[in-house]
Chains A and B, each alone.
Chain A
Amino acid sequence: MSKLDATDIQGFVLRGYGQPFARYLFLEIVDAQHGRAFIGRLLDQITTGERWDAGKPEWTLNIAFTHKGLVNLNLPDASLLSFPVEFVQGMKARSEILSDTGKNAPEKWDQVWLGGGIDIWLAVNANSKEALETQCARLQRWMEETGGAKIVGLQDAGALRINGAWSSKEHFGYTDGFGNPDFLGVERDTQPGQGKLMADGSWAPLATGELLLGYADEAGELPVAPIPHLLANNGTFMVYRKLHQNVATFRRYLEEKGRLYAGGKEKLASKFLGRWRDGTPVELSPDAPNPEIVKDKLRNVNFTFVNDLDGTRCPLGAHVRRTNPRDGFGFNGRLVNRRRITRRGLPYGPYVPEDQPIEDSDERGIIFMALNASLFRQFEFVQQQWVEYGNDARLGNDKDMLLGNHDGHDKHMIQGTEDPQSPPFVCGGLPNFVELRGGDYFFLPSMTALRMIAAGKVDPR
């Protein structure tokens, strides 16, 4: 296939920027005409997928729209009605399907996500606090100058600072950021294990259409996309979820159960996620963390589950196994190739070391963002069938230990062996370690589509 036009694709889609500071601005459009003017003002500021030959820029900017936002920009009805139904409805309307009920129900969300919802998501990522504030001030100025939009909410996020250095850990202490999929045509530092498993045991990039609209997906079809083709091409859909983390509860639970588990607390923590907290994949090293593997790009994502079908190395319900079962369901992993998502999330809230007091009620957690060509077939499927349910993994109703909406009745089973250091263990009475505080579905258009939207020239014919 021909090379992707990286200048037409928003940079956020093609790579995680790895910048430690971020702010997400949630905007409401004032009216269509002025809204278009504001978008027009932003056009030459949006970061594309172009390679950075001069190193990382000080700040980056990206933009995405809810369906309501596109309605408020007066896109033609034929285009608006051609978007996939889950995007049209928005994430709040689909809370039953996603198990966003009880503690995760919309009534519990931050104010900004209630009511009618927002129109535009603007993301500023930056190398420094100063660059972040400067860029946000400019955005505010452009909003005022064009009269096109107003800020109805803000969310800061950023890498955790641990022992005076930037870390890729999240608040439960797990090293994050492994395993984003490879796609055909997307230039990237490829690692074995990121793509799809081939019959000969090698790994190949996934079809471009699993990430980007307008390209063939793993089934050889074009994913459902809005008309006209130019509106959809090189765009993608994003799910944004603010996941509050009950870190105090997590630490208490791990401490309490860690005392009962023969392998000890850190090994128990590794059995929740499927990686040790330093990032070592449990499948490759079930008995101890291994910094050599973590550092080795050829190994740290490179594993399969075919020799661990009983889950005694990596539990069947461990988070990384639930969200990417690889060949764990047979058929050489083909059942999984249409269920991969690209994650771009960042933590929010300050890090507190393990030996210091901490409250669940503190504002901290992770801003989970995932990109995929089909919200329904990719994110929603994984969320409903593999995170909030366990049947495919033969775990009945059991939910993901860390993410699951447990409601006090759930359990996480750690399959064991006769090795006294690896006994079977049941983690019962699971509290909600994570609570959803809001979010929505967004469309990240290509630069071409953005220019059409700004010019009011989206033509569905």
Chain B
Amino acid sequence: MANQSGNVYGLTILSPILQDQNAETSHNCAIRMKLASLPCDEFSPFAKLSSTHMARLVVMDDVVYVGMPSCEEHLKSQYLIFETNFDGDLDNYLTRMAREISADVDAVWKHCWGYPGTKNLAAFIAYMKKCQITTTFYFADVNSKTVQETLTALQTQAAVARFIEKNQGRPAADLQKSFTEFVAKLHKAPAPVAGRPESGGPPRIETNMKWATRN
């Protein structure tokens, strides 16, 4: 089924960017400046939409002409590409975008052709669906686990590893007793909150990407 991979919805939006010869700063440049200022990782506005696995925004300028013998072609417009993988259904996600991070969404999309703004929810949803293209290719980060399930699994894994390390080698009866206490505590532990770094969730997962891209 297109756009859906297990529980995860893959949304791909292509929004044509306004072209205004009279603008002091072109809309294309303005979007780039705005995107460059958006925080990434857990501080991104999209992290506040807690069902988001990943999201990214890219400005697509034009087809690159690589020289003869290829022929020179051009797109009719520059595009803002928005790609996101999230749990749940599309209408719900779009509604949350319009309600929970409206300022950031408007600040980016106001440079796009025909954008109605987030105030009129029905118009916003209709606009985004008009810009949507079918997603058929997914980055397989987790297998059909929601963001919440993934965070809970990571929290559980870290706790179990710590338990094993602390208790390995102990006699069976002691081990059983400690394990029973551990499981009870684990069940009562507050679920980690997605997208809220200050809530003291599981250990931060290093991606190594900042090292790879630094040079």
Residue ranges of A at the interface with B (Cβ–Cβ < 8 Å): 85-86, 89, 94, 96-97, 99, 259-262, 384-385, 389, 391, 396-397, 411, 413, 423-429
Contacts and interface: CB of A to CB of B under 8 A. Distances in A.
Interface string B171-215: 000000000000000000000000000000001011010011011
Given A97-B215, A384-B211, A428 B205 contact: no
Contacts of B211: 96-97, 99, 384
A238 B199 CA distance: 46
B99 to A, nearest CB: 34
B161 A389 contact: no
Given A261-B169, A413-B161, A425-B168, A384 B214 contact: no
A168 to B, nearest CB: 33
A425 B214 CA distance: 36
A328 to B, nearest CB: 19
B74 interface: no
Contact of B165 (A94, A385, A391, A411): A411
Contact of A85 (B161, B164, B215): B215
B162 interface: yes
Contacts of B212: 97, 384
A397 B206 contact: yes
5 contacts: A97-B211, A97-B212, A259-B169, A389-B208, A411-B165
Contacts of A425: 164, 168
Contact of B168 (A96, A97, A260): A260
Contacts of B205: 396-397
Contacts of B215: 85-86, 89, 94, 97
A356 B115 CA distance: 77
A7 B161 CA distance: 55
A423 B168 contact: yes
A397 to B, nearest CB: 5
Contacts of B164: 424-426
Nearest to A413: B161
Contact of A389 (B203, B206, B214): B206
A391 B168 contact: no
A262 B175 CA distance: 15
A86 B214 CA distance: 12
A384 B208 contact: yes
A385 B212 CA distance: 9
B161 to A, nearest CB: 5
B14 to A, nearest CB: 31
Given A86-B215, A261-B169, A385-B208, 12 more contacts: A96-B214, A97-B212, A259-B169, A261-B168, A262-B169, A389-B206, A391-B208, A396-B205, A397-B203, A411-B161, A411-B165, A425-B164
A428 B206 contact: no
A86 B169 CA distance: 46
Contacts of A259: 169
Nearest to B158: A396
A389 B211 CA distance: 11
Contacts of B208: 384-385, 389, 391
Contacts of A396: 205
B203 to A, nearest CB: 8
Nearest to A98: B211
Contacts of A89: 215
Contacts of B168: 260-261, 423, 425-426
B161 A426 contact: yes
B73 to A, nearest CB: 29
Contacts of A427: 165
Contacts of A384: 208, 211-212
Contacts of A85: 215
Contacts of A385: 208
Contacts of A96: 211, 214
Given A396-B205, A397-B205, A397-B206, A426 B169 contact: no
Nearest to A376: B215
Contacts of B161: 411, 413, 426, 428
A316 to B, nearest CB: 14
Contacts of B206: 389, 397
A353 B129 CA distance: 72
Nearest to A381: B212
A413 B157 CA distance: 12
